[in-house]
Amino acid sequence: MIRRTAPSGFALSGLLALAVVLFACGAAKAENVYIKNDTEMTIVVEMSTVIGGKVVRDRPVLIAPGKTAAFSVPGNKVVQVQDAKVLRPLFNGTIPASKDDQAYSLQMGTPTKAKLEKK
C-alpha cells in the first residue's frame, strides 16, 4: 500500500526561519563611521547602540593625534570621547543612522570640551 504524507510543517517553518534570518542580516548592515582625532591629545572613543532592546557597546578605541579610526555600528550611535590620560569626558553625543559611510573630525571647542564635526 502506498501512503501519501502531508508536507511537514517543520520543514516549512525551517525555511521561513532561514528567510527571516537572511533578511535581518541584510537589514542590519552597519555603515562605517570614521572619526579623525584633530586634537593634540590621545583620546578614547566608545560607541554604543540599541539592538533588540538591549544596549550594545563597541570596544573602546584609542586614537592618537592626527589619526583616524573606523567604527561599524548599526543604527543611531551614542558616542563618548574621553581624554586617554585622565579619562576626563570631552564629548558625549549621538550620530544618526545613515545608509552611507560618515566621516567626522573631533576638535577642541573649549579647553575642556570637544566638538564632533561632520566632514
Q: What is the CATH number of the domain that holds 102?
A: 2.60.40.1120
Q: What total of structural domains would you count in the chain?
A: 1
Name the pairing type of β-strands 102-108 and 32-37: parallel
Q: Count the residues in the chain.
A: 119
C-alpha cell at 102: 560618515
Residue 76 domain-assigned (yes or no): yes
pLDDT value for 11: 46
At 40-64, the pLDDT tens digits run: 999 999 999 999 999 999 999 999 9
Do 33 and 5 contact (CB within 8 A), yes or no? no
Residue 16 domain-assigned (yes or no): no
Residue 111 domain-assigned (yes or no): yes
pLDDT tops 90 at residue 9: no
- The boundaries of the domain holding residue 113 are 30-118
pLDDT above 90 covers what percent of the chain? 70
Q: What predicted TM-score, i.e. pTM, was given to this entire model?
A: 0.73
